Amino acid sequence: MSHLIPFWFIVITVLWTGFFILEGFDFGVGMLHSLVGRDESGRRAAINTIGPLWDGNEVWLIVAGAAMFAAFPGWYATMFSGLYLALVLLLAALIVRGVAFEYRGKRDSVRWRRTWDALLSVGSLLAPLLIGVALGDLLTGLPINSSHEYTGSFWNLLQPYGLVTGVTLVLICALQGATFLGLKTTGELRDRSGRLARRVAPFTGAAVWAFVIWTHVTYSSRFFLNPVELLAVLAVIAAIWLVWEGRTGFAFAATTVTMASCIVSIFVGLYPNVMVSSTSPANNLTVHNSASGAYSLKVMTVVVIVLLPVVLAYQAWTYYVFRQRLSPGDFQPPRLLTGRGPGTQPDGGRPGSAGPPAPDAQKPGTVG
């Protein structure tokens, strides 16, 4: 069953790539919602473009971690123990982000909502940054001894290549989020998304080129870029051009390809290792010395072949159901249609009333 070992490395690569493809624009929208939405209705419209999708997309992160644990327990043990503090920070960012979706609309208070907006933006930025640093560290190397135990500290994780990887993923998420907002919104919200995408695009291109060149020069023995690295460069160039041309759908597709290519290039450079030891190459964790037994891999292979198509079909159906565009007008407070009577406020309330209904009462089934 040795042929199942590389198969499961490919499965894990696909899961991490799928997570960043689907959650990338989620993170981007979370970062940018306060910049795109100038008022409460605009911010709510931006958030609700991902409202039905974000929690399902995050499941890919859980599945990727579970697959690592099941298929390569040695990799999981060393990585998750070595990156323990970073993972705590990641969980905090994801928790704060998820709570912000649910709690920002629970009180009709500007300060309350702005606080949760800030936490949503910070959580959405920190998550791809931390994961990017972790993935970059896998390739650049960490202090690991002969017992496959991490011997460094938290500061050993902050290596230049890992930081560049994290920043690159953050910028791709921002560009992907801006183009997704352009696909899912109308009017001024869509125009602001396009302008923001044009501002972010050059920085994203520069970061991707730097990441690809650094990855190739340091971790490849060939002169020319491999197909995945070349695809990342061409895709980000196409994304920049399409953003400036205002072709939002194709720009979103190009940023998605850029994200996928960058993630895959990390795993291509890593294989057959799963973690590189900066202490000694003899201490590297590989797909062979960290894999599960043959029977476990065989059972998991049957499970993934049966269930993965079902998950993909369900997620595709979800995106189809929630494909409609949104606008700030969908989240305006309802007004009375009977005209203004004596003592009626412009918002439809009575003097001394609490004003318009709370945001959660405005549109059933929405978040924020």
What residue ranges define each of the domains in the chain, with the CATH number in brackets? 4-327 (1.20.1630.10)
What does the pLDDT read at residue 332?
67
What does the pLDDT read at residue 365?
52
With CA atoms as reference, report the closest residue to 161 among 101, 105, 118, 215: 215
Q: How many CB atoms lie within 10 A of CB 85?
A: 11
| Mean pLDDT across 173-179 | 96
| Mean pLDDT across 287-291 | 91
Q: Distance between CA 307 and CA 310 in Å, rounded?
A: 5
40-69: pLDDT as tens digits: 888 888 898 988 888 888 889 999 999 999
| Mean pLDDT across 18-34 | 93
Residues ≥6 apart with Cβ < 8 Å to 241: none
Q: Is 314 exposed, middle or buried (0-12, 13-18, 19+ CB in 10 A)?
A: exposed
Question: Is 50 exceeded by the pLDDT of residue 200?
Answer: yes
Reported confidence tier of residue 230, pLDDT bands at 50, 70, 90 = very high
Higher per-residue confidence, 244 vs 315: 244
309-368: pLDDT as tens digits: 888 888 888 888 888 887 777 776 655 444 444 444 333 333 343 344 444 444 445 676
The CA–CA distances, whole Å, from 183 to 13, 253, 326 equal 28, 11, 10
What does the pLDDT read at residue 326?
78
**pTM attached to this predicted model:** 0.87
- Tokens 């894999």 sit on residue: 291
First CA to last CA across the chain, in angstroms? Answer: 49
Q: Distance between CA 36 and CA 58 in Å, rounded?
A: 23
Question: Is 80 exceeded by the pLDDT of residue 209?
Answer: yes
With CA atoms as reference, report the closest residue to 96 among 121, 78, 76, 114: 121
| Mean pLDDT across 101-113 | 86
What does the pLDDT read at residue 348?
38
Residues ≥6 apart with Cβ < 8 Å to 339: none
